[in-house]
A and B are shown apart, each in its own frame.
Chain A
Amino acid sequence: MNEQILGLITGILFGFLLQKGRVLRFDKQVGAMLFKDMTILKFMLSAIIVGMLGVYFLSDIGFIELKHKAMNVGAVLLGGSLFGAGWAVMGFCPGTSLGAIGEGRWHALWALLGMIAGAGIFAEMYPFFKSTVYTWLDWGKISLPELMRVNHWPVIAGLSVIYLFLFFIFEKRKI
């Protein structure tokens, strides 16, 4: 099987589950940002709890190597904030915009086109960012347990408890 077919199958399953979880919609995404409807956080954190157990198990037995993205402080904080502002206006993230079009919410097409244009603009600005923001402060490809100098399993256990506690609050408040 080639990588394109594998990607397509994985994407179809991912899109199917995103739609079943009802997390693709503009109203769900903006609903979470307004703390009115936490469906996307329930969905995401559930995936993360299951995923971190599996991914760290696979890493412990030496089957895979983790691929942390670099903690380039300026780039992550500035880029993350820009993304947050744009996300609030468009109400989709890159992956969910295509899923939203798939479930008939075709207005997500405008967000999709904007994001393709944004990627093209970024490609032109890359030399500028490379000589400025990226040079400020880079902590490298580091994980939270590495930063804390502890084993990863207690961190996984602690975070799982925090995430489950959040679920408890969401359900209690019915959001």
Chain B
Amino acid sequence: MKIKTADGGWNPYFAGALVGVLAIVSVVATTKIMGKTNFLGASTTFVRAAGLAEQRLVPEHVEKNEYFKKEKVKVDWQFMLVLGIFLGAFISAVSDGSFKLEAVPPTWEKRFGKSAVKRAVWAFCGGVVAMIGARLADGCPSGHGLSGLMQLSLSGFAALACFFGVGALAAHFIYRGRAS
């Protein structure tokens, strides 16, 4: 089995296994350095980002909000991790020539056309719904999927089944239409 794929990327089994190693190292590092065990995750950071944005407009409201109080609006380990994902992806894409500016994803364009505005509106709405769901379930494919399944958490299996089950149903409906 080759490590490099035709487009200069890495075999997904290999890159994935390295993420497994990274997850273990990260668990050890956070336990040793921060004194508390952190598992990889991403969606709580969106709450903090919303809180930081709202603080500029309505600081008293953020201070009083029960959920912001619970999750604490601050730039913490996970917040920096999520920013790091952006940087790491940028470094990797530029170094192997796969960086490409794209206004509309190809699969979307095939079904719904070139309009970047249409894509923007739907992506925004999808984001709103998905994040309300992720916060209600207390995790996303990183926190529930990756970290949950690694720990054999019951909630991880249930959440991932819903993510993927409903996602597959919706995707078949959206991108295939009734004709195909």
Contacts and interface: CB of A to CB of B under 8 A. Distances in A.
B127 A115 contact: yes
Contacts of B122: 89-90
Contact of A18 (B79, B85, B124, B155): B85
Contacts, number: 523
B93 A80 contact: no
Given A70-B138, A102-B90, A117-B124, A20 B102 contact: no
B158 A71 contact: yes
How many interface residues does chain A have, given as a range? Answer: 35 or more
Contact of B134 (A42, A67, A79): A79
A49 to B, nearest CB: 7
A17 B19 contact: yes
Given A20-B9, A84-B166, A107 B129 contact: no
B24 A103 contact: no
Interface of A: 1, 3-27, 30-35, 39-40, 42-52, 54-56, 58, 63-73, 75-108, 110-127, 129-130, 133, 139, 141-147, 152, 155-156, 159, 167
7 nearest A-B residue pairs (beta carbon)? A11-B84, A114-B127, A50-B20, A15-B88, A86-B130, A80-B162, A82-B133
